[in-house]
A and B are shown apart, each in its own frame.
Chain A
Amino acid sequence: MEHPALVTQASLLWLIPALPLLGFVVNALFGAPLQRAFGKRLIHTVAIGAVAASFFVALYFFGRMLGADPEQRTLQETLWNLFTAGRLSVDLAFSLDPLSMTLVLVITGIGALIHLFSVGYMADEPSYWRYFGYLNLFVFAMLLLVMGDNFAVLFFGWEGVGLASYLLIAFWYSDPEKARAGMKAFVVNRIGDFGFLLGLLLLFWALGGGWVERPGLARTVEYAPVAELRPLDPAIGAADADALAPRVKGVKVGPTLSFRELHDQISVEETGVRERLLHATLWGMPVLSIVGILLFVGAMGKSAQIPLYVWLPDAMAGPTPVSALIHAATMVTAGVYMVARLSFLFALSASAMGWVALVGAATAALGASIAFFQYDIKKVLAYSTVSQLGFMFIGVGVGAYWAGTYHLLTHAFFKATLFLCAGSVILGCHHEQDMRRMGGLGRHMPLTRSAYLVACIAIAGFPVANGFYSKDEILWKAFTSDHLALFGTPTPWLGPAIYLIGIATAVGTSFYMFRSYYMTFTGPYRGGGHRHEHNEDPHAATAARHPALSASAHASDGAVHAAHGEHGGRAPVPHESPWTVTLVLLVLATGSVLTLLLGLPALWTGTSPLFERWLEPVVAKVRFREVGHELEGLFQLFGVLAAALGWLAARALYREARSPLPGRMKERFFRAWTVVYNKYYVDELYALAVVRPTIRLAALLFWIDAHLVDGLVNLVGRIARFASAISDVIDRYAVDKAVDGVAVLTRGAGRRLRRVQTGHIQTYLYGALGGALVVVLLNYLIR
């Protein structure tokens, strides 16, 4: 990390994001007529083809990367210059390094599978083309996000995925509930984005402090530039900016938005940038901590961390494959990716790391506890996602960047499996999402059941599937980290404290996942005739309130029922889903197991895990406490015990729906149950503390607008009218009169002068004589 990164130029990198963009453009512009003319087959062929092609291009580069030396695995391609401002030059550039490669493979690979799944799930959707268009748009934006070589491209992607997520959550927009969920997601994300943007600008400002003397940034260390810096000389283009930038030990210094250049400037000591950043303060606080925390606020929004997690459970209003792709596997991990990408920055600030880890741990615990008592299968998975994202942030927060990213990868597999299984179950149960009306589905849907079970084992943390390896590594690293700080003061106890929260959460995770498994797949089938009694379904409740509004939403929902033919109406029997669905489930479940090979711990194999070595060149190194291997083995045992504990508890309480205990406990602790079931009333709290004041503020502002601003505007208008009246008077009486006067004068003069022309020759002669006389006299006088 002490030398500039080696970059290999690679052409055709742009194909990876361009292909989904092409798919989006085709489906968005021509989708409706194409679907009418050639049917849905063409639509999904285009969409899946685009993502799959993109996946294969990514695989090609993956192969190239594997063949290269570990230090030379950064591929880069600059397409064109976006803008040059002063000496800052920003290009539309893509780069692939082991970190973004991982994400690209997950996005395009799992993305393609989920596209395939959607073929079966959305078969009866009338606006099929719109769905696949949005899905491709999302993949494009997400690829932009992870492949962007600089903050600008990343930010485009960052906003793009927010947009695509909004469009897909509110896909059935005629249902006000779902449209509102989309808006909520968008608004909450915007709040996070605002923090992200602030962090970005502050970082740029603080870096600028390295080149130019600025008031406000205390300079405790004298910065001695090795090269003569001319920061204010403006550059005309990218090449010019490049030529003007001085170089210190081969590293370009000067304002930059590029990750690599930033990384190089910070990692190469001689540039003095690291010194400057470490000592820069803003209002008495270290700038790096503020930057880290603000950037993390952005991650909170995108990756659903406390306090901005509230949108994710509501985002389940979207189609289930969307939940799997966007709200479990890819988009929500953007924040984790961002922190890992900027690891060199976060690693410099112990406080930022501490906060990231602490918020991650709190979110993990909160998400898991809410998931305990949810009945909606998608809600359970949503809160589970929130919780697992918390784990990822523990990982990247304590500095175990590879572990956090590895958990991202494993989570993408097992959570996509879980969501798609849920989708399959929902499809099989004729759009029933309430687990209380499921049960016994294992008999009807064996493939879905086994996939779900594998994913449950993975997320719970049994060593036979991938989840154990990532979660265990994260918790172990959390336990052995003594470098974290809060408010600038070192807090060596924070790591072990986070470990305790994490291990307790792991018990909970195992419990709620197996609870959902047992409730869904074992016991008697409690569904049937749900059409008459699904009043508790929020969707149906809305339908009752707005019969006209949600009729079409129901139609699109219910279209799938109609497809099931005769048995769809009276006595719906759960059935296994079509092959496109089950195939995807099995592939993903297999992936959930196989990816464990990437993270086999050093304790077992003697060498560091494959994935750690893979990411080693691109993430910052953080020093952990040296602890003996015996202890690590013991902690792995703890991890398994935690999973087993949760599993046994869930088994005892929910297996075959036999135990009366859950019901009794619910009655006994009804108050606490209500609080947790209602998600600790956080939404209500936000409504009270944020939404309502905001609406009040809006009303107040409206009042101010209507009365003060409009009054002012009217006043200005009146003043203007008064002034114009004066001007009118002046115009009419002064200017017009002057103009008329000139004319009258001219006419009068003409009338008088006309008399001169008498027609009498002798008068003329007098004139001539007089004139001659004057000339003669003048000639005589002026000699």
Chain B
Amino acid sequence: MTITLVHYLVVGALLFALGLVTVATRRNAVGVLMGVELVLNGANVNFVAFGRYGGDAVGGSVFALFVIVLAAAEAAVGLAIVLALFQTSKSIDVRQADLLRE
């Protein structure tokens, strides 16, 4: 059995879906951030796969690298928010962090 583009895409989609579920269901803010990482990496798998099968060898990988950098930055900002959240409410449960309510 040869591994084709579709296989990669399925893996990417699964990762994206799992990440989304994680983001939507986790109460722990850190868990939510991890879900976000999954979503981003699902996308990365797609980028790399399209890069590999689409003919342009470098473009997809470069884009993936950018996304990784972005994810790192996002994680930093996200963790900082979580920290701040914890300092104010002594909890990192996203259910209780409803300060953005109207």
B99 at the interface (CB under 8 A from A): yes
B23 touching A759, Cβ below 8 Å = no
**B24 in complex: contacting residue of A757, A758, A759, A769, CB < 8 Å:** A769
Could you write out 8 A-B pairs with CB less than 8 Å apart?
A: A754-B102, A757-B100, A758-B101, A759-B99, A760-B94, A762-B23, A765-B24, A766-B24
Inter-chain contact count A-B, CB under 8 Å? 30
Residues of B within 8 A of A766 (CB): 24
Closest to A764 in B: B100
B71 at the interface (CB under 8 A from A): no
Question: Quick one: which of A657-687 are within 8 Å of B by CB?
Answer: none
**B94 in complex: contacting residue of A754, A761, A769, CB < 8 Å:** A761
B102 touching A759, Cβ below 8 Å = yes
Closest to A756 in B: B102
Residues of B within 8 A of A765 (CB): 23-24
Residues of B within 8 A of A759 (CB): 97-102
B20 at the interface (CB under 8 A from A): yes
Closest to B23 in A: A765
Give, as a whole number of angstroms, the nearest-CB distance from B37 to chain A. 16
B95 at the interface (CB under 8 A from A): yes
Chain A interface residues (CB < 8 Å from chain B): 754, 757-762, 765-766, 769
Closest to B20 in A: A769
The answer for the CA separation of A758 and B20 in the assembled complex, in Å, is 20
A757 touching B23, Cβ below 8 Å = no
Residues of A within 8 A of B23 (CB): 762, 765
Residues of B within 8 A of A761 (CB): 32, 94, 97, 100
Give, as a whole number of angstroms, the nearest-CB distance from A72 to chain B. 103
Residues of B within 8 A of A758 (CB): 98, 101
Closest to B101 in A: A759
Residues of A within 8 A of B102 (CB): 754, 757, 759
Question: Quick one: which of B85-102 are within 8 Å of A by CB?
Answer: 94-95, 97-102
The answer for the CA separation of A754 and B102 in the assembled complex, in Å, is 7
Q: Is the interface of B mostly helix, strand, loop or mixed?
A: loop
**A762 in complex: contacting residue of B94, B99, B101, CB < 8 Å:** B94
The answer for the CA separation of A769 and B99 in the assembled complex, in Å, is 22
- Type the 1/0 row for B13-24, where 1 means its CB is closer than 8 Å to any CB of A: 000000010011
Residues of A within 8 A of B24 (CB): 762, 765-766, 769
Question: Quick one: which of B28-56 are within 8 Å of A by CB?
Answer: 32
Q: Is the interface of A mostly helix, strand, loop or mixed?
A: helix
Contacts A758-B101, A759-B97, A760-B97 aside, 7 further interface pairs with beta carbons under 8 A come to: A758-B98, A760-B94, A761-B100, A762-B23, A762-B24, A762-B25, A769-B20
Closest to A760 in B: B98
The answer for the CA separation of A761 and B25 in the assembled complex, in Å, is 11
Give, as a whole number of angstroms, the nearest-CB distance from B19 to chain A. 12
Give, as a whole number of angstroms, the nearest-CB distance from B17 to chain A. 11
Residues of A within 8 A of B32 (CB): 761-762
The answer for the CA separation of A759 and B95 in the assembled complex, in Å, is 9
Residues of B within 8 A of A760 (CB): 94-95, 97-98
Give, as a whole number of angstroms, the nearest-CB distance from A64 to chain B. 102
Residues of A within 8 A of B25 (CB): 762
Give, as a whole number of angstroms, the nearest-CB distance from A776 to chain B. 13
Closest to A754 in B: B102
- Type the 1/0 row for B59-101, where 1 means its CB is closer than 8 Å to any CB of A: 0000000000000000000000000000000000011011111
Give, as a whole number of angstroms, the nearest-CB distance from A755 to chain B. 9
Residues of B within 8 A of A754 (CB): 102
Residues of B within 8 A of A757 (CB): 100-102
Residues of A within 8 A of B94 (CB): 760-762
Give, as a whole number of angstroms, the nearest-CB distance from A749 to chain B. 14
Give, as a whole number of angstroms, the nearest-CB distance from A394 to chain B. 109
The answer for the CA separation of A766 and B20 in the assembled complex, in Å, is 10
Closest to B96 in A: A760
Closest to B25 in A: A762
The answer for the CA separation of A761 and B97 in the assembled complex, in Å, is 9
Closest to B100 in A: A759
Give, as a whole number of angstroms, the nearest-CB distance from B39 to chain A. 11
The answer for the CA separation of A766 and B23 in the assembled complex, in Å, is 10
The answer for the CA separation of A758 and B99 in the assembled complex, in Å, is 9
The answer for the CA separation of A759 and B61 in the assembled complex, in Å, is 37
7 tightest Cβ-Cβ pairs between the two chains A and B: A759-B101, A759-B98, A757-B102, A759-B100, A754-B102, A760-B98, A765-B24
The answer for the CA separation of A758 and B98 in the assembled complex, in Å, is 7
The answer for the CA separation of A757 and B98 in the assembled complex, in Å, is 10
Give, as a whole number of angstroms, the nearest-CB distance from B82 to chain A. 12
Give, as a whole number of angstroms, the nearest-CB distance from A478 to chain B. 113
The answer for the CA separation of A762 and B20 in the assembled complex, in Å, is 10
Give, as a whole number of angstroms, the nearest-CB distance from A538 to chain B. 100
Give, as a whole number of angstroms, the nearest-CB distance from B33 to chain A. 11
Give, as a whole number of angstroms, the nearest-CB distance from B79 to chain A. 15
The answer for the CA separation of A761 and B101 in the assembled complex, in Å, is 10
Give, as a whole number of angstroms, the nearest-CB distance from A239 to chain B. 80
The answer for the CA separation of A762 and B23 in the assembled complex, in Å, is 7
The answer for the CA separation of A117 and B67 in the assembled complex, in Å, is 124
Residues of A within 8 A of B100 (CB): 757, 759, 761
Give, as a whole number of angstroms, the nearest-CB distance from A299 to chain B. 96
Closest to A766 in B: B24
The answer for the CA separation of A766 and B25 in the assembled complex, in Å, is 10
The answer for the CA separation of A759 and B100 in the assembled complex, in Å, is 4
Give, as a whole number of angstroms, the nearest-CB distance from B100 to chain A. 4
The answer for the CA separation of A759 and B99 in the assembled complex, in Å, is 6
The answer for the CA separation of A761 and B27 in the assembled complex, in Å, is 11
Most buried by B among A754, A758, A761: A761
Closest to A761 in B: B94
Give, as a whole number of angstroms, the nearest-CB distance from B1 to chain A. 30
The answer for the CA separation of A759 and B23 in the assembled complex, in Å, is 15
Give, as a whole number of angstroms, the nearest-CB distance from B42 to chain A. 15
Give, as a whole number of angstroms, the nearest-CB distance from B26 to chain A. 9
Closest to A765 in B: B24
Give, as a whole number of angstroms, the nearest-CB distance from A763 to chain B. 9
Closest to A755 in B: B102
Residues of A within 8 A of B101 (CB): 757-759
Residues of A within 8 A of B98 (CB): 758-760
